[in-house]
């Protein structure tokens, strides 16, 4: 049986229904109107705010905000011009969608532990081009609640006399702290990454952290220990233990509720993610009759956002944990017309195309390295009416569009979205339509 035919019956990578208990179900909200998404301009008060936004870490070689000293209006202009230079030959580049307040937008923080002056436990990020931890107390990109939660984590860990992991010696306990916050729910997850499988005095640490958080008037919804014994730059290991709460938090995005686990892929800028996904779904021009393929689907955010407007959604993602999250998220939201598969997107779509399967619309949201020639060839064989390409790397998008446009697809336009203000990164949404279909419709 072909993949798309089988989709109506598959409920998980292993063929079993997967779900998590839901702490609360949030009311759905309507899509924001397109005219409300745009960057409205930079007022005098905002320019004054820019002048006061200074960062002590920048002088210490942080490297996290290379564009911080550039006025935000100029950042947007620079990014839009970059997209136009790379992609303008394929179609019109629309005005960039910027943020009203381009600070403190990151809903996820990763902080590395180290020994500071006098052996004090500190945490922060690696200084640019080094393996030296730069202590960070406050960051202009990070959610301010998470900055405060991180202070509570350090205080609780110090009270428990936990020592930082020393990579050169292979000694110590604490490696990293990963924090997530649901922008809509306010729920906070704390993930303590350790070099040892046992967290001594775990109950004492939980009590201390909850007390420190309460003292600072910030929430902690769940606490998870993640064990990572490997000598690697990868933050999270494979083993986890829930110390407090349910081991996940909830958030809402585009009218859907999502359960987020420590390893869930979830965009870090909730305000701009809503803009990005709204643009992508609008570009698909769905009528409720389409079969939609969501390639590189992650935890299902784009596919589930589109599900209310489609006949059927099929999501494909290589990461099995993400697929489990996607299936659980569909169940949480009562979405019955979406199915998800754990598979390499290229291999899966090649099999589906070879079996003669068709999709009316394909969403493709590949990683920074872009898609593959084999994937694009299979897209062409499936002959969708529309392809919506969401890219976090305009350079690899340009490479992939060279193939798609040669194979009969036309780029209708590009909308840059500033997902990461004060950095050089940018996301782009592109709608492509199949030229053969357009010609036939004139006959």
- The catalytic residue positions are 392
Contact 260, 249 (CB under 8 A): yes
Buried b (16+ CB within 10 A) or exposed e, 116-137: eeeeebbbbbbeeeeeebbbbe
CB atoms within 10 A of CB 171: 11
Consecutive H or E run containing 324: helix 320-332
Nearest Cα to 360, choosing from 291, 441, 288, 434?
291
Distance, CA of 275 to CA of 270 (rounded, Å) = 9
Nearest Cα to 111, choosing from 74, 69, 72, 143?
143
Distance, CA of 95 to CA of 80 (rounded, Å) = 7
Beta strands in 90-181 (DSSP E): 108-115, 121-126, 133-135, 174-181
- Which residues, other chains included, contact 102 with Cβ-Cβ below 8 Å and sequence gap of 6+? 72, 75, 418, 421, 422
Q: Quickly list DSSP for 356-377.
A: T---SEEEE---TT---HHHHH
CA distances (Å), origin 192, targets 106, 111, 375, 431: 19, 10, 38, 41
Nearest Cα to 343, choosing from 385, 377, 391, 375?
375
Distance, CA of 216 to CA of 221 (rounded, Å) = 15
* 3-state SS class at 94: coil
């Amino acid at each position: 049986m072909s993949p798309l035919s089988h989709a109506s019956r598959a409920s998980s990578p292993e063929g079993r229904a997967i779900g998590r208990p839901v702490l609360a179900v949030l009311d759905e909200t309507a899509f924001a109107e397109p005219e409300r998404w745009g960057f409205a301009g930079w007022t005098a008060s905002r320019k004054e705010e820019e002048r006061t936004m200074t960062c002590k870490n920048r002088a210490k070689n942080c490297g996290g905000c290379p564009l911080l000293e550039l006025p935000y209006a100029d950042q947007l202009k620079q990014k839009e011009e970059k997209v136009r230079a790379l992609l303008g030959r394929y179609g019109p580049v629309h005005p960039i969608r910027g943020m009203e307040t381009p600070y403190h937008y990151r809903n996820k923080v990763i902080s590395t532990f180290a020994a500071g002056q006098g052996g004090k436990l500190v945490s922060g990020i690696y200084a640019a081009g080094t393996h030296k931890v730069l202590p960070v107390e406050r960051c202009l990109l990070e959610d301010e609640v998470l900055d405060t939660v991180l202070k509570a984590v350090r205080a609780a860990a110090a009270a428990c006399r936990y020592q930082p992991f020393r990579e050169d010696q292979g000694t110590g306990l604490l490696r990293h702290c990963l924090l997530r916050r649901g922008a809509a729910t306010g729920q906070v997850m704390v993930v303590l990454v350790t070099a040892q499988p046992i967290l001594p005095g775990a109950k004492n640490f939980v009590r201390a952290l909850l007390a420190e958080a309460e003292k600072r008037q910030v929430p902690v919804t769940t606490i998870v220990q993640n064990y990572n014994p490997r000598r690697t730059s990868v933050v999270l290991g494979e083993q986890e233990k829930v110390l407090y709460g349910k081991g996940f938090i909830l958030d809402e995005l585009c009218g859907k509720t999502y359960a987020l686990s420590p390893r869930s892929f979830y965009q870090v800028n909730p305000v701009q993610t809503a803009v990005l996904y709204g643009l992508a779904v609008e570009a698909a021009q769905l009528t409720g009759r389409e079969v939609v393929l969501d390639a590189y689907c992650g935890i299902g955010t784009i596919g589930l956002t589109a599900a209310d407007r489609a006949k059927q959604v099929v999501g494909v993602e290589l990461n099995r944990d993400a697929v489990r999250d996607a299936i659980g998220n569909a169940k949480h939201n009562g979405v019955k017309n979406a199915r998800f598969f754990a598979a390499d997107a290229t291999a899966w779509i090649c099999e589906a195309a070879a079996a003669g399967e068709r999709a009316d619309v394909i969403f493709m949201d590949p990683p920074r390295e872009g898609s593959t020639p084999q994937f694009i060839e299979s897209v062409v064989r499936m002959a969708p009416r529309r392809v919506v390409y969401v890219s976090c790397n305009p350079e690899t998008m340009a490479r992939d569009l060279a193939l798609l446009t040669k194979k009969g697809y036309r780029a209708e336009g590009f909308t840059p979205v500033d997902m990461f203000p004060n950095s050089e990164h940018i996301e782009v949404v592109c709608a492509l339509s199949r030229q053969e279909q357009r010609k036939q419709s004139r006959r």
